[in-house]
Amino acid sequence: VLLMIQIITGLFLAMHYTSDALTAFSSVTHICRDGNYGWLIRYLHANGASMFFICLFLHVGRGMYYGSYTFLETWNIGVVLLFAVMATAFMGYVLPWGQMSFWGATVITNLLSAIPYIGTTLVEWIWGGFSVDKATLTRF
């Protein structure tokens, strides 16, 4: 149910969002202020993500409690899905392109620079340059 709410509200939000660095924040403001119930759709989308993660972490906890990690193939697929959902949520967090989004993208992507040999090259590739900028936003 929560995943369907995320998909539906995300589609409605995407109809009015622009991914340009100069207009991304103002498009989110436009959705909240000028769109019919845009504030409600954004509220449902933002808080729906939090509720989705609560359910996800409860599911992981249940799996650990009942020993589901002994089924390695199933557990590994679940871990891969968890990281995919976390990456998707991070990209959604960056999209409004406010100050928290910008600095969140800077800090989280800089964590990859700790990878030996390829870290700094990987970070510059993700950024699309030497810092978080327009190219980074359009990639997310």
pLDDT of 22-60, one tens digit each? 899 999 999 999 989 999 999 999 999 999 999 999 999
Residue pointed to by tokens 């992981």 = 60
Are 16 and 33 contacting, i.e. CB atoms less than 8 angstroms apart?
no
Q: Which pLDDT score is estimated for 86? A: 96
Nearest to 87 by CA among 71, 117, 111, 113: 111
The token duo for 48 is 């729906």
Identify the structural domains of the chain with CATH numbers, from first to last.
1-96 (1.20.810.10), 98-140 (no CATH)
Collect the ranges in the chain with pLDDT lower than 70.
none
Q: Which pLDDT score is estimated for 19? A: 87
